[in-house]
Amino acid sequence: MSKKPRLRQRSDCPISMSLEIFGDRWTLLVVRDLMFKGRHEFKDFLSSEEGIATNVLSERLRRLEAHRLVLRRRHPFDARRAEYHLTEKGIGLAPVLLDMIVWAATHETTAAPAAIVRRMRDGREEFLADLRTTLRASLRRAR
């Protein structure tokens, strides 16, 4: 029997609340995979270069679902599998992740393609609008 993630918060501080949801090394990477890499199935998340363990991935997906950031649906062709999609609340994280990517690529050596980082930085609003359109289309198909 699986445990439900704790939704109780330590305080009303927005930073503390965010850390309750995202304050580990894996959760934002799962969101990244959903948002930027088009990954939707459990096996797809396991293929990330960071090498997340299956038990950790299961718990992070449950936590994201419990916080209504991710929608879990049965796979359309195989009822034994599930697909995961960002909800509107999850899509709302796009500016945060975008800023994190641009910040890291500006200050560190990363694998992010320079042309994409430039587009994220110089055409931020257009990039976000395109990303939101793509993610919302995926969510509509999932429903």
Is the predicted pLDDT of residue 41 greater than 90, yes or no?
A: yes
Identify the H or E element spanning 139: helix 124-142
Domain locations in the chain?
Answer: 14-142
- Beta-carbon contacts of residue 131 (< 8 Å; ≥ 6 apart): 35, 36, 94, 98
Residues 85 and 71 sit within 8 Å (Cβ to Cβ): yes
The structure's pTM equals 0.88
Q: Which tokens go with 73? A: 């649906």
Q: Read off the pLDDT of residues 43-101 as tens digits, 9 standing for 90 and up.
A: 999 999 999 999 999 999 999 999 999 999 998 888 889 999 999 999 999 999 999 99
Q: Which tokens go with 35? A: 């948002």
Q: Which CATH class is domain 14-142?
A: mainly alpha
What are the φ/ψ torsions at residue 65 (nearest 5 degrees)?
A: -70, -40
